[in-house]
């Protein structure tokens, strides 16, 4: 559970770093790159421990990656709707279903 919470925090920061600057297109690119880099630096303080803790707890690298991708999609969907004001469509749901399938396959040996 600690791994998942750290990955959620990591993805909140990374989504903000990668896409938050789109709300500030009037600012110079060099400025938003520096700001994004600073946010991404904080993200690493969550991502690296999340992966180390998860790996030491018995998750494989593949399992950690798939967990991270699912969390990324959920965080990004929330960001797109609540911050950027973009609606979710049927294809977003279809992509999420595909990722749930990936989770099932990557964890199949645990069942």
Query: Is 7 in contact with 47 (CB distance < 8 Å)?
Result: yes
With cut-offs at 50, 70 and 90, classify the pLDDT of residue 107. confident
Average pLDDT over every residue of 25-47: 96
Could you report the per-residue pLDDT of 49-90, keeping only the tens digit for each?
Answer: 999 999 999 999 999 998 998 899 899 999 999 999 999 999
Taking only the tens place, the pLDDT of each residue in 4-28 is 999 999 999 999 999 999 999 999 9
**How much is the pLDDT for 14?**
96
Report the C-alpha gap between 42 and 14 in whole angstroms. 9
Query: Distances from the Cα of 6 to the Cαs of 14, 23, 36, 82, 109, in angstroms?
Result: 12, 26, 19, 22, 24
């Amino acid at each position: 559970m600690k791994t998942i919470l750290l990955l959620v925090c990591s993805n909140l920061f990374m989504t903000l770093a990668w896409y938050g600057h789109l709300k500030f297109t009037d600012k110079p690119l060099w400025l938003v790159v520096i700001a994004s880099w600073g946010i991404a630096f904080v993200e690493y303080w969550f991502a690296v421990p999340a992966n180390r803790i998860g790996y030491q707890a018995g998750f494989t690298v593949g399992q950690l990656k798939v967990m991270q991708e699912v969390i990324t999609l959920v965080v990004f969907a929330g960001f797109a709707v609540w911050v950027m004001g973009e609606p979710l469509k049927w294809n977003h749901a279809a992509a999420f279903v595909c990722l749930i399938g990936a989770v099932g396959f990557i964890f199949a040996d645990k069942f």
